[in-house]
A and B are shown apart, each in its own frame.
Chain A
Amino acid sequence: MADTSSQSVAFVRTAEIPPSPPPVTESGAVKWVKENLFSGPFNTIMTLIGLFIVFWLLSGLIPWIVNGTWEGGDIRECREILQGSGGGCFAVISERWPQLLFGFQYPDYLRWRPAVAFLLLFLAVPPALFIMFLPRWTLVASAVYPFVAYWLIWGGTILAPIFAALGFIAGYMVFVRAEKLKGFVAGMAAGVLAAAVTWTVGGWIAGFGEDFLALETVESRAMGGFMLNMILGVVCVSLSIPLGIVLALGRQSRLPIVKGFCVVFIEFVRGVPLITLLFVANVVLAYFFPPNSNPDLIIRVIIMITMFSAAYIAEVIRGGLAALPKGQYEAADSLGLDYPQAMRLIILPQALKISIPGIVNVAVGLFKDTTLVSVISMFDLVGMIRGPILSSTDWTGVYWELWAFACVLFFVVCYGISQYSQWLERYLRTDHR
């Protein structure tokens, strides 16, 4: 057998070669360190430099945290306690945390309400994110949450959120009926009309029942702190994804009006800085609403941030749509699926899956961009730190501790979103490419 190539061309295998395990190489931590950290003079030097940098960072950071004090009424007391030990003055956080979290205008005896709303978020989010492991009815929690949260945070009669919810339900039910009879577009129009009627009538009725199961009203002006970032972040992310899908599909439409509108919208919004839009929301937008209706600043800001990120998400999803082979559209068509069915069942599930990293990128960016509202004198977390806290005589000059606190809060949320998206990508990987 050894001379097959030199002597003859003909060869017939007589014995099967059994599969065998790969050769056992030396393994263990020592080998890993040798191979990855000290494999040559250059890498050894780099490793030592790296270790020095890590040491240098930690030698500053650890005493700062460990020697830090959480007690003391203002910066002078803080300095007395610290005695120049190099520790951080975390007392500012233990003293001002309610302001950092809820803003300085939210009545302190009502802070339990947004706190409850925040805790309820942990009931409302899992059904939306992990529906594959939960029964379908749990989605009710996600659907009801926005209305409950609104009622808790803003207060007022419970009739207002109830009618708001009823409007959506009425709109949806009319849409389902009308879609069967007259098609998608007519169904949509009828649904929107039904919702509008419900809201108008509901608003009128709620006007009479202002004290019905009413919580003490809190003005939008009073919203602040990290709560404001969370409100803007959660609302804008959940609104901008569907809007982004609609815009992305609209941009592919064969109808020139729809396509033109979507292209102009996306290109315009993408071409303008978010801060400009926020200033517009602050000053100009009121002119576009009907007279006497002066929607409050938070709604105007939500509209602007949502439009802004929806334009970006639309472009991300357009990338996902473009990545799908044309055959998927053709297969859906050839089976007789109509456009909404093909999109919903075949195209979007795949396009959105491809777009997950991009969408999450936009969502995380959006969440952090909510801090920009501090420039239009809304006191979100950053606005609180820059404004009322740092400029107070009590805490002026306590920069590191406050900004570190802000970083930690944002990091926890953003890292959570990022981890979820990576898990989701792995979970949805069914193509086995």
Chain B
Amino acid sequence: MAMTDTNPDQTPAAMTVSDEVAIEINGMNKWYGQFHVLRDIDLTVQRGERIVICGPSGSGKSTLIRCINALEEHQQGNIVVDGVPLSSDLKNIDKIRSEVGMCFQHFNLFPHLTILENCTLAPIWVRKTPKKDAEETAMYFLEKVKIPDQANKYPGQLSGGQQQRVAIARSLCMRPRIMLFDEPTSALDPEMIKEVLDTMIQLAEEGMTMLCVTHEMGFARQVANRVIFMDAGQIVEQNEPEAFFNTPQNERTKLFLSQILGH
């Protein structure tokens, strides 16, 4: 495990956070029909920051990060990712998507392609990387997530944890500057959660800007430098993990934490 030699009490701020802004969200609102899912979201993410977003189901946390790479449309407000404003301009959207990696709850690997093909597809077609280079890169990242020997299998032959690690490798092959994780471990068996979290921790240590919707509070304590609590489409509270978990201020935060940490 990557973190065994790191003192867990040491604040993860030791991992570099720069002043450069990676994502800026201003006054963002989103509705599903009449339903107001995201209300007046303001959020600035520095490069190298690792943010964990938590909250009860239906609070809009997944919707929030899905707005960042335009999988969901927002109706009001501005989102600027890596200096590129997110508008309805398809060119900007494709540019942002190729710079922002995303991992899903259900992995969403392409079942008709091998693991290697899953990883090389986007670099070859979007980045126009020569096939050989793309395969080298893919093998490099597959080694990094510790499954190079599965490269020629199909996703259906792998366990859930392995599939999620492939999904991470697939995103990394595009050399993203930001990674979004949408509940990456919630569809996994307990014994597989750790292998995925280890991969994510390793990624964090390398300075990747990460936004992570998760209920893994251990992960939040260990690597996050900010925890955001959302409820009913609003950011209710955000703080450094220590303070967030030890001295939550808002009543709803306290209730939520007592429910998920209570057992």
Residues of A with Cβ closer than 8 Å to B?
325, 327-328, 330-331, 333-338, 341, 345-346, 349-350, 353, 428, 430-433
Contact = CB atoms under 8 A, between A and B. Distances in A.
B121 A335 contact: yes
B156 to A, nearest CB: 3
Interface stretch (B15-23, B98-106, B210-218): B98-106
B112 interface: yes
Contacts of B122: 335-337
Given A327-B108, A331-B104, A432 B154 contact: yes
Contacts of A349: 112
Given A330-B71, A345-B125, A428 B112 contact: yes
A91 B218 CA distance: 87
Given A345-B121, A345-B125, A430-B154, A334 B111 contact: no
Interface in B108-124: 108-112, 121-122
Interface in B166-183: 170-171, 174
B110 A328 contact: yes
A325 B95 CA distance: 25
Given A346-B121, A430-B154, 12 more contacts: A327-B106, A333-B71, A335-B121, A336-B94, A336-B97, A336-B98, A336-B122, A345-B125, A350-B111, A430-B112, A432-B156, A432-B157
Would you list the 5 A-B pairs with minimal beta carbon distance, nearest first?
A: A336-B98, A432-B156, A331-B108, A327-B108, A335-B122
Interface in B127-178: 154-157, 170-171, 174
B43 interface: no
Contact of B111 (A330, A338, A341, A431): A431
Contact of A430 (B94, B106, B111): B111
B106 A334 contact: no
Nearest to A339: B90
Given A350-B111, A353-B112, A430-B112, A336 B104 contact: no
B23 to A, nearest CB: 15
Contacts of A428: 112
B126 interface: yes
Contacts of B170: 335
Nearest to B72: A330
A325 B187 CA distance: 16
Q: Among A330, A335, A349, A350, which residue has the most Cβ atoms of chain B within 10 A?
A: A335
Contact of A433 (B104, B106, B126, B156): B156
A338 B94 contact: yes
B128 to A, nearest CB: 11
A180 to B, nearest CB: 11
Contacts of B174: 335-336
Nearest to B110: A346
A162 B112 CA distance: 38
A325 B108 CA distance: 9
Contact of A431 (B71, B104, B156, B171): B156
A328 B125 contact: no
24 contacts: A325-B108, A328-B110, A331-B104, A334-B97, A334-B100, A334-B101, A334-B102, A334-B104, A334-B171, A335-B98, A335-B121, A335-B174, A336-B98, A336-B126, A336-B174, A338-B94, A341-B125, A346-B121, A349-B112, A430-B112, A431-B111, A431-B154, A431-B155, A432-B154
A330 B155 CA distance: 17
Interface residues of B, number: 29
B106 A350 contact: no
A63 B209 CA distance: 82
Chain A interface, >50% SS class: helix
Contacts of A330: 71, 104, 108
A358 B174 CA distance: 37
A345 B120 CA distance: 12
Interface in B41-100: 69-71, 90, 94-95, 97-98, 100
A350 B121 contact: no
Contacts of A346: 110, 121
A166 B127 CA distance: 32
B112 A335 contact: no
Nearest to B71: A330
A346 B122 CA distance: 11
Contacts of B69: 333-334
Contacts of B97: 333-336
A431 B158 CA distance: 11
A337 B108 contact: no
Contacts of B155: 431
Contacts of B171: 334-335
A327 B101 CA distance: 15
Nearest to B117: A345
A334 B170 CA distance: 11
Contacts of B121: 335, 337, 345-346
B94 A331 contact: no
A353 B112 CA distance: 9
A258 to B, nearest CB: 16
A206 to B, nearest CB: 39
Contacts of A335: 97-98, 121-122, 126, 170-171, 174
B125 A337 contact: yes
Contacts of A338: 90, 94
**Which interface residue of B71, B95, B97, B110 has the most chain A CB atoms within 10 A?**
B110
A430 B111 CA distance: 7
Contacts of A341: 125-126
Nearest to B124: A345
Contact of B104 (A327, A337, A345, A430): A327
Nearest to A327: B108
Contacts of B104: 327, 330-331, 334
Contacts of B157: 432
